[in-house]
Amino acid sequence: MAEIASWKVKTGLAEMLKGGVIMDVTTPEQAKIAEEAGACAVMALERVPSDIRAAGGVARMADPTIVQQIMDVVTIPVMAKARIGHFVEAQILESLGADYIDESEVLTPADDMYHINKHEFKVPFVCGCRNLGEALRRIGEGAAMIRTKGEPGTGNVVEAVRHMRTVMSEIRQLQTMPKEELMTAAKNMGAPYDLVLLVAEQGKLPVVNFAAGGIATPADAALMMQLGVDGIFVGSGIFKSGNPKARAKAIVIAATHYKDAKILAEISKDLGEPMVGIEISTLAAGERMQERGW
């Protein structure tokens, strides 16, 4: 009779998050601030990406106490991150009742060849991508939501823009191909053929796609929305800024009124210092989180 964890139910929650902002939080107090600002969900973490970057070493799933405490204080959905390929961290997060799991390149990968078989879980997953092939591989493994990776913890939106433009341009290319070219396209991008056919036919990803990795201002959020993403993840950008409350609220409004420059101008005033950004070219290849994922 009642069917839980169906594909419709898993992708359905992502549909409900659209047009919203998902904020990284590390304490119950931050979670309350995010909810109060109008976040549509929070990501429970031990450290935000910029601190993970600064600390170095191995970054793992958060202490379950933190995830639990955050789930206890907010009524909006709570997401949590597991390492790439670490299906036991995912099992633990599912048992805690997390609403979505992010199999995330922000944490140190636990498997250097394979991602989690996400179909096996009742809880839905979101995964990062830099291009269409990566997005479709993750969806093939069971991801019910996608986010462009950007470069986490940098406060620099350039990589998020590049990844979104790449995905959109690859979708447009598929749409113009005659059917006999699609198998080779699938081979070249390393994507499941059935999903390539679906994208060629529908002209869009089969699941919701958010932007992540480097969004620090309301204008950044609106830029990504105008480029066609369904919503925004903000990691370090809020709680590493001078006035988290005001900035969080402004980014929420920007994700809704992204086409209205007058409103964007109004809400961008007096937000205090944004987080300090990092120029991507100063990062060594090994410091780029976006390259994690197979």
Partner 1 sequence: MRKRIGVLALQGAFREHRLVLEQLGCEVIEVRTAADLAGIQGLILPGGESTAIGKLLQFAALGEKIKELAAAGLPVFGTCAGMILLSKRVEDSEQYNLGLMDMTAKRNAFGRQIASFEADLDIPALGSQPVRAVFIRAPFVQETGPEVEILAVYEDRIVFVRQGNLLASAFHPELTSDERVHQYFLKIVEENCGN
**Closest separation between CB of residue 51 and partner 1, Å?**
26
H/E run at residue 232: strand 231-234
Choosing from 234, 255, 271, 289, the residue that interacts with partner 1 (CB under 8 A) is 255
**Closest separation between CB of residue 199 and partner 1, Å?**
17
If binding is defined by CB under 8 A, does position 75 make contact with partner 1? yes
Q: What is the DSSP string of 86-118?
A: -HHHHHHHHHHT-SEEEEETTSPPS-SS----G
DSSP 177: S
Touching partner 1, residues 135-174 (CB under 8 A): none
**Closest separation between CB of residue 253 and partner 1, Å?**
6
Choosing from 24, 46, 89, 94, the residue that interacts with partner 1 (CB under 8 A) is 94
CA-to-CA separations, 162 to 156, 169, 211, 289, in angstroms, rounded: 11, 10, 11, 15
If binding is defined by CB under 8 A, does position 13 make contact with partner 1? yes
Choosing from 72, 117, 122, 226, the residue that interacts with partner 1 (CB under 8 A) is 122
Touching partner 1, residues 22-41 (CB under 8 A): 35, 37-41
Choosing from 87, 100, 125, 210, the residue that interacts with partner 1 (CB under 8 A) is 100
* Residues belonging to the chain: 294
Report the alpha-carbon distance of residue 125 to residue 145 in Å, rounded.
6
Nearer to partner 1 (CB atom), residue 15 or residue 194:
15
If binding is defined by CB under 8 A, does position 54 make contact with partner 1? no
Tokens of 257: 């009124």
Q: Is 157 left (phi over 0), alpha (psi -120 to 50) or beta?
A: alpha
Q: Among residues 177, 82, 87, which one has the least CA distance to residue 132?
A: 177
If binding is defined by CB under 8 A, does position 253 make contact with partner 1? yes
Which residues are the active-site residues?
A: 81
If binding is defined by CB under 8 A, does position 218 make contact with partner 1? no
If binding is defined by CB under 8 A, does position 227 make contact with partner 1? no
Tokens of 112: 């250097």
If binding is defined by CB under 8 A, does position 225 make contact with partner 1? no
- Cβ count near 273 (within 10 Å): 10
The single residue listed with the structure tokens 């950008």 is: 237
Which residues lie near partner 1 (CB under 8 A)?
1-6, 8-9, 12-13, 15-20, 35, 37-41, 71, 75-77, 94, 97, 99-100, 122-124, 249, 252-253, 255-257, 260
